[in-house]
Structure 1
Amino acid sequence: MSLEELIPSNQAKSFLYCFFIRTGLVLSTLVIGLSVPFFGLVMSLIGSLFTMLVSLILPCVCFLKILRGKVTRLQAALCVTIIMVGVVCSSFGTYSALSEIIKSLRG
């Protein structure tokens, strides 16, 4: 979308540019996916690390940091619990992805 916003707003040319940009992005993703041997496993590793970080851990940490003195004990306990669940889930996902990558490298 950010590449498409750089295109001038002429209707006919804009459609063609958008078509070529999207096609180029899909083809480049296809080439990378086919050329990297363990692309799915690497994406699984990255996903397990960053999904939990962005969706569970960072929002709670930011909430606690922003409202440092105004957080009730219940809110703090819930945030700490959510952070711990996120860390545990991320650890299991990372371990699973790393073990699959190692298993694929060995065999």
Structure 2
Amino acid sequence: MNGYVVGTISLLDIGNGEAALRKMFVHPEFRGREYGVSSSLLHHALNFARSNEVENIYLGTTAQFIAAHRFYEKNGFIEIPRSRLPQAFPIMAVDSKFYMYSF
């Protein structure tokens, strides 16, 4: 790191104790278990959500991001059909796979 931003993550409050996981990016040079950036970012977001009484977190991604699917599934997210998303969830045009994490 050396003072550089190597990753981002955000949670968007969509009401009713629910949030959307958004803007999770890690610089390609800092991906993988060796650095643990993705896991650290996600765990901080989950801890923040839990401490702010969020009950469910939803996310959308593309079918092509197989490594991301494995990462989310390994961390307790389950794939759900689009029809199970809350009405307030902001679907991006590229989203074709959806996940949910419940506390």
Same fold (TM over 0.5): no
Given the two structures, how large is their TM-score scaled by the length of structure 2? 0.28
Mark the structure with the bigger radius of gyration: 1
Structure with higher strand content: 2
TM-score, normalised with respect to structure 1: 0.27
Greater percentage in helix: 1
